[in-house]
Amino acid sequence: MFTGLIEAVGTVRGLRRSGPGGRLDVQATWPDGDLPKTGDSVAVSGACLTVLEPTAEGFTADLSPETLARTLLGDMRPGDRVNLERAMRLSDRFGGHFVQGHVDGLARIEAIHPQAGFSRWRLSLPDEHQQEVAPKGSVTLHGVSLTVAGMGPGWFEVAFIPETLRATTLGSSRVGERLHLETDVLAKYVARLMGTPRPSAIDDMFGTGGGGA
């Protein structure tokens, strides 16, 4: 479980494909110097991965076929930057919202409106997620917890403070770019109670999606 508050921005050192899967190598410096251990969970731009080989300079993690199918991680190249968050401890302050690290889909940036250091974005919203997003509710974009500032058929908007743009990879995003989208897990439960959910919603709730994404 994560909060959507980014701890560090890492750099991809390499991606090696192996059959239907792959292995991602990420350079990372953690602010408190507390290195993840083998088996720990780390959200990489919103996709929960399991640390395979931790080092003082970063870590490697395997990418399952499901992760490669659902996320953009298979397109990573050396030098690409990624948002990083370690799984939360029970003793941590809970400053964002409940984030599972399960990527539901991709949202495309349709418009960016700068506002004196702040910014308001409009993004596409796939039809299958329309009932899982609500004004003033929470969404996660590339692992960043955000509040929905507005929405309509096929789109939603979020607003950024300067610090979020500075401390994450989103500050360099451009119109047309696709981002990992995770909707609020509570909204998924409500959707299930109200009717038959989409199949992937059941996978996400019960962790059967595979690969953490």
**Domain co-membership, 56 together with 113:** no
Same domain, 16 and 49: yes
Radius of gyration of the chain (CA): 16
Which residue, 86, 116, 134, sits at the end of a domain? 86
- Are both 73 and 156 inside the same structural domain? no
Query: What is the pLDDT at residue 95?
Result: 66
In a domain, 99, yes or no: no
DSSP SS3 for 35: coil
| Cα–Cα–Cα angle for 106, 135, 97, rounded to 5 degrees | 70
Contact predicate 8/39, CB 8 Å: no
Which position has the higher pLDDT, 192 or 101?
A: 101
Which residues lie closer than 8 Å to 28 by C-beta, 6 or more apart?
8, 10, 11, 57, 58, 59, 84
One domain, residues 33 and 77: yes
CATH number of the domain encompassing residue 153? 2.40.30.20
Which of 86, 121, 146 is the endpoint of a domain? Answer: 86
- Asked if the structure places residue 95 within a domain, the reply is no
Q: Is residue 212 part of a domain?
A: no
**DSSP string covering 162-190, please?**
HHHHHHSGGGG--TT-EEEEEE-HHHHHH
Give the alpha-carbon dihedral of 125, 130, 136, 138, to 10 degrees.
-70
Claim to verify: residue 57 and residue 133 sit in the same structural domain:
no
Report how far residue 79's alpha carbon sits from residue 69's, in angstroms, rounded to the nearest whole number. Answer: 22
CA angle 57, 54, 140 (to 5 degrees): 90
**pTM (predicted TM-score):** 0.86
Residues 32 and 109 both lie in one domain: no
Q: Rounded mean pLDDT of 58-71? A: 96
Q: How many domains does the chain have?
A: 2
| pLDDT above 50 (res 208) | no
pLDDT band at 96 (very low <50, low <70, confident <90, very high): low
Q: Last residue of a domain, which of 57, 86, 115?
A: 86
Residues 137 and 170 in one domain: yes
Give the residue numbers spanning the domain of 168.
105-206
pLDDT digits (tens, 9 = 90+) for 16-62: 998 999 999 999 999 888 889 999 999 999 999 999 999 999 999 99
Domain match, 176 and 114 both: yes
